[in-house]
Structure 1
């Protein structure tokens, strides 16, 4: 079996997706390749999408800034992608394009892989920091999987209110960052979904985590640097940590599964990607 996959976005020249998916192709015993389709924001998106359709791909990923832009060009939309309002994976089959969102499921897969007990106990107190697209996908997936104690903390409460209303979250409390900081140790799982701490501003951290202990799991979806200042501070306080590069692998795993109906195991790829990001 031979497959053709790709990535649509801008800028994407340094994307890790080709490395990940070409590894998956080899692991699955297939032939094929994963190409980059960089669409500059000064170009006509519609024209470039027509060109991509002519390439007869089996599937492709979509990244910023086109996760919402792609939707009108699709023939169908998965229920989860529709609820989240963004697409990061497109399956091309029988001449039709169907959009999916694998971010939330990929994140949860990676978290459970690191801490298996989470998959067996959804009665955890969860705090999501941030109210953007990543928070939306993770929040929706956690809710679908039965987690019903999820609070939101954000710099501006207006964005958090919109997210709460979008998913009708009656039991969700909204907190400012300073309010969250004061009660951080009351949460079993703390998930940082903003870009704070990303290179080149890797010295920044979003809240103080000094009160945390080994009872807390602290997760950051930022993967450059692979261990953010937020995670370093949490680890120094004694908390257990979860790095963002794992989410990258597991959301890609789910996308590959949608394209091929084959679930490729991550295994050594986690450490390989970790070492790459460490430089």
Structure 2
């Protein structure tokens, strides 16, 4: 990578963010596609977020990615919001286009692209969690024609999540039901006719905890996915794999949501398979 007077910048904005692998992914893509760009990680405080977003225009940047806790907080500082991001109520990518800042959410697209030989249209999905990542998956699934969604989240989060879920349901016509994650018997019952089961909570990042009971039985034809990729095989995925279930971790979602952002910024296709092989070597 050669940085010169024509190099344009992109960044990931969050707090904390120094652990991010996005600079590796995007800088590799810039180099391989011949785009004169550089991607950095900016650890920004809440009071500096507005100025950080203004700097996208000031420095003629490609744009930025957003991670926690700024996916909702960034919205007032943008000129336009893509319909998907508006439906979800969350922005993870800002694109600088002709002096305007446009917000997108590529998380849901990235997630479904990470699933091998699986199309969500006409299928039923059960998802654990109702945070930003979960809503992106629910919203994108609804737009892509999922038959129905069951959401299980902590009892304390039910009321807040219900409002966002109702908005997605009304906009798309997809039936979405929300239940307490503490009711594990109901979860075991509801999962029996699902074709996709997703853990979109952070439970399991320590390599020990499970978002479900250890006695949980998975239907044999289901695909089980976890947003976690550190560890590479979470306890949730280990339990599913021990029952012969096909599993997918969160590394693919991270890569493919980045690929969507890269294309929005540059018009180029990220060499995703090549980068995937590098990431597998890093994280396995």
Q: Is the 8 A contact 1:10 1:40 kept in 2?
A: yes
2:27 counterpart residue number: 22
Give per-residue Cα distances to partners, 1:126-146, cap 9 Å, x unaligned.
Answer: 111111111111111111111
Mark the CA change 1:152 to 1:32 in structure 2 (over 3 Å): closer, same or farther: same
TM-score, structure 1 normalization: 0.89
Give how far 1:30 is off: 1.9
Summarize deviations over 1:172-204 as a string: whole Å, max 9, x none.
333333111344343211011111111xx3200
1:67 aligns with 2:74: no
Confirm or deny: 8 A CA contact 1:223 1:243 kept in the other structure: yes
Deviation at residue 277 of structure 1 after TM alignment: 2.2
Q: Residue 88 in 1 paired to residue 92 in 2?
A: yes
How far off its partner does 1:2 sit?
Answer: 4.8
CA displacement, residues 21-74 of structure 1 (integer Å, 9 cap, x when unaligned): 011112212222102222134x43333434454222012111111111111111
Q: State how 1:26-41 maps to structure 2 within 5 Å.
A: 26-41=31-46
Which residue is equivalent to 2:138?
139
Secondary structure of the 1:211 match is coil
42, 49, 68: which one pairs with 2:53? 49
Deviation of the 1:9 alpha carbon: 1.3
For 1:205 and 1:271, how far apart are their aligned partners in 2?
28
Over aligned residues, Cα RMSD in angstroms? 2.0
1:106-156 deviation per Cα after TM superposition (whole angstroms, max 9, x unaligned):
111111xx2x1x22x622221111111111111111111111222111222
Alignment of 1:61-210 (within 5 A): 61-111=65-115, 114=116, 116=117, 118-119=118-119, 122-156=121-155, 157-168=158-169, 171-177=175-181, 178=184, 179-198=186-205, 201-208=206-213, 210=216
State TM-score, norm by structure 2.
0.88
Aligned length: 270
**Structure 2 unmatched runs, 5+:** 1-5
Deviation at 1:170, TM superposition (A): 6.1
Which secondary structure does the structure 1 equivalent of 2:176 belong to? coil
d(CA) in 2 for partners of 1:210 and 1:27?
44
Query: Conserved in 2, the CA contact under 8 Å of 1:213 and 1:238?
Result: no
Tell me how far apart the structure 1 counterparts of residues 57 and 34 of structure 2 sit (CA, whole Å): 26
Q: Per the alignment, in what secondary structure is the counterpart of residue 65 of structure 1? A: coil
What CA distance in whole angstroms lies between the structure 2 residues aligned with 1:75 and 1:170? 29
Local SS of the residue matching 1:67: coil
Partner of 1:205, secondary structure, is coil
Query: What is the Cα deviation at residue 77 of structure 1?
Result: 1.1
Is 167-176 or 127-136 further displaced after alignment? Answer: 167-176
Contact preservation (8 Å) 1:152, 1:174: yes
Give the distance between the partners of 1:190 and 1:76, measured in 2 at CA.
33
**Alignment partner, residue 264 of structure 1:** 270
Q: Does 1:225 align with 2:226?
A: no
Query: After alignment, is 67-76 or 46-55 more displaced?
Result: 46-55
Establish whether residue 238 from structure 1 lines up as the match of residue 244 from structure 2.
Answer: yes
Unaligned runs of 5+ in 1: none
